[in-house]
Chains A and B, each alone.
Chain A
Amino acid sequence: MSTASATAARRSPLLATYAAIVFAFIYLPIAVLVVYSLNRDGVGGFPPRHFTLDWYRKLFRDSAIWDSVRNSLIVAAGAVALSLTLGLLAALAFDRADFPGKTLFRRLVLLPLILPGIITGLSLLLFAVRIRLELSLITIFLGHGSALISVATTELFAGLQKMDRRQEEASLDLGATPWRTFWLITFPNLKLSLIAAALLIFTLSMDEIAVTFFLYGREYTLPLEIWGRLRRGITPEINAISTLILAASVVLIVVWYHLRTRSERP
């Protein structure tokens, strides 16, 4: 159905207004965040006067924040690598192998996504304590990586299902070993899914606070750093860094969108 039907074209102004209100609700806090990051008199009060970039300047001189950003990036990169590797293997296993406990495995892998973060975080804490692993960026990295495996698995599994099986069969038929076939045929076909999963895992890891809350040691990730400051009091610096995070996210979305639409055009 390419043509818009008359039933849809019959606009409902009531519904449109309601939708606009919902949109406003969703964006209100974000707008407030951005606007007040530029407000000289800090957060609160109304209306904001005195535009300033001072908070951003202060932010750039704040080494603690940037240290935490660096930590977050390291953890996120590690989580992406770990989750993608294990997730890819798991997706291949789901697609091609049958083993006892397959359903249990699938449910188990999904648990971190559907359970409240506190449960996963505390469980991993108990585990770290038991094996006497000191809490640090490493424990955070292990936590993120394990919790996000199913994100990779779901995405890659979908990609595998969509792939034309016969390409692999043709490759084997022409004499390539399974190893070669994987790298020359399967892997390139999964490129889009891999990128999608990577982006998603990266974002989720950068943003993660619930599980991280129980696994951190001396080094902080960005959410932890922000959390710490929130406990001490509100400063517009937090608005500034939040706005930057928002901007970075939007850029990522645009990039992702372009990648996806470009690949859908043959």
Chain B
Amino acid sequence: MTSAVPIAPSVAPGDTLLELRAVSKRFGSREVLRTLSLEIASGEFLTLLGESGSGKTTLLRLIAGFEQPTDGEIWMHGMRLDPLPPYRRRVNTVFQQYALFPHLNVSENVAYGLHAAGAPKSEIATRVKDSLGMVRMQEFATAKPAKLSGGQQQRVALARALVNRPELLLLDEPLSALDANLRKEMQSELKSLQREVGITFLFVTHDQEEAMALSDRVALLRNGALEQIGSPREIYAHPATAYTAQFIGQTNLLHTTVAAGMASCEDFSFPCSRPDGSALFSLRPQSIAFAADAPQISSPVRFSAVIRQQIYSGATELLELRTAAGTILRARIASRELLSGSHEFVFSAPDAVPVRE
């Protein structure tokens, strides 16, 4: 098994390690981050999730020290971080394209940071060996990066960062260059590595499935602002906005008008506790079932629709439904035989989660 690199955290797990206070970043006239405030707890696996342009990579680079905030401050346990250059921060980065030094072999790459810190040779040798062992790359110690596959390079990049025992590890979409199977494998490796080593991970990705699988908490960024932050389960079950509901997993957005505790749209109505006026609800596709299959469902809301498409994906399939009023809804059901025509469907009213615009 791998040997863990013991760390002596200067911050107890759970305490705030890094704090972003109203951080803004402008490039020329383009505002990439808007007064963003965020706290990262020690020992957690936090993912910055968002589309390209959402500012997640910029945020990472601010913490690493490759950019300076236009406004606001970054604090790392009691001290201001942003004035420090990258080589003085106790933060290390795993780059998207790994950025391994081509003229140094694997060991020399991993030893680089220790070398820069002036550690004695014997200590360097031991720590490099342990670090390579942790990512299972010992046998490649004298190989040059050019000879390694993408997955292998990625592991070396990880070892190179972790060997320095940083307070915070930044990972900039490290898995995006890998193919699907390797990705899944590396995802679970990363997760168990983080648990073992106990270092705080700040992970950046645009892949929401990846974020949900790996993180203790997910911070969803949109246009440079924090849309929502919470554990994967929280965000999935209780999206605060329509954007979050649509970004994380799939959903149906119901545009309704509320009057006297009843939300109504053209196709159906259901009780809710929203004030009068227009209201938006998120309804996950798996919440919709064939009426015939769910006779005991509580607070049932029924409607009929025509099956337009049936998209098969193994265990489940996605039905694209069209109601009489012309609304398109998506339902996820366990796979069955090919269907068509008009059917009765049902969902439970509490499954419709109210969201902001």
Q: Do chains A and B touch in the complex (CB under 8 A)?
A: yes
Q: Which residues from chain A sit less than 8 Å from chain B, CB to CB? A: 3, 5-7
Write the chain B residue with the least CB distance to A10: B85
Nearest-Cβ distance from residue A253 to partner chain B, whole angstroms: 29
Query: Is B65 an interface position by the 8 A CB rule?
Result: yes
Write the chain A residue with the least CB distance to B27: A3
A7 to B68, CA, bound (A): 10
Query: Is B320 an interface position by the 8 A CB rule?
Result: no
A3 to B68, CA, bound (A): 12
14 contacts between A and B (CB under 8 A): A3-B27, A3-B58, A3-B67, A5-B61, A5-B66, A5-B67, A6-B65, A6-B66, A6-B67, A6-B68, A6-B85, A6-B86, A7-B66, A7-B86
A6 to B65, CA, bound (A): 8
**Residues of A contacting B86 with CB < 8 Å?**
6-7
**Residues of B contacting A6 with CB < 8 Å?**
65-68, 85-86
**Residues of B contacting A7 with CB < 8 Å?**
66, 86
**Apart from A3-B61, A6-B68, A6-B85, 6 more pairs, CB < 8 Å:** A3-B58, A5-B61, A5-B66, A5-B67, A6-B67, A6-B86
Nearest-Cβ distance from residue B116 to partner chain A, whole angstroms: 15
**Residues of A contacting B68 with CB < 8 Å?**
6
A254 to B86, CA, bound (A): 40
**Residues of A contacting B58 with CB < 8 Å?**
3
**Residues of A contacting B65 with CB < 8 Å?**
6
For chain B, residues 65 to 87, give those with C-beta under 8 angstroms from any C-beta of chain A.
Answer: 65-68, 85-86
**Residues of B contacting A3 with CB < 8 Å?**
27, 58, 61, 67
A6 to B70, CA, bound (A): 12
Nearest-Cβ distance from residue B97 to partner chain A, whole angstroms: 10
Nearest-Cβ distance from residue A11 to partner chain B, whole angstroms: 14
Write the chain A residue with the least CB distance to B57: A3
Write the chain B residue with the least CB distance to A9: B68
**Residues of B contacting A5 with CB < 8 Å?**
61, 66-67
A5 to B85, CA, bound (A): 12
Write the chain B residue with the least CB distance to A7: B66
A6 to B84, CA, bound (A): 11
**Residues of A contacting B27 with CB < 8 Å?**
3
From B27, B61, B66, B68, name the one whose CB has the most chain A CB atoms within 10 angstroms. Answer: B66
A6 to B67, CA, bound (A): 5
Write the chain A residue with the least CB distance to B97: A1
Mark interface residues in B37-77 (1 if CB within 8 Å of A CB, else 0): 00000000000000000000010010001111000000000
Nearest-Cβ distance from residue A147 to partner chain B, whole angstroms: 36
Nearest-Cβ distance from residue A12 to partner chain B, whole angstroms: 14
A252 to B347, CA, bound (A): 73
A171 to B353, CA, bound (A): 58
Mark interface residues in B83-101 (1 if CB within 8 Å of A CB, else 0): 0011000000000000000
A7 to B66, CA, bound (A): 7
A155 to B133, CA, bound (A): 48
A138 to B179, CA, bound (A): 61
A3 to B66, CA, bound (A): 10
A6 to B89, CA, bound (A): 14
Nearest-Cβ distance from residue B83 to partner chain A, whole angstroms: 11
A7 to B65, CA, bound (A): 9
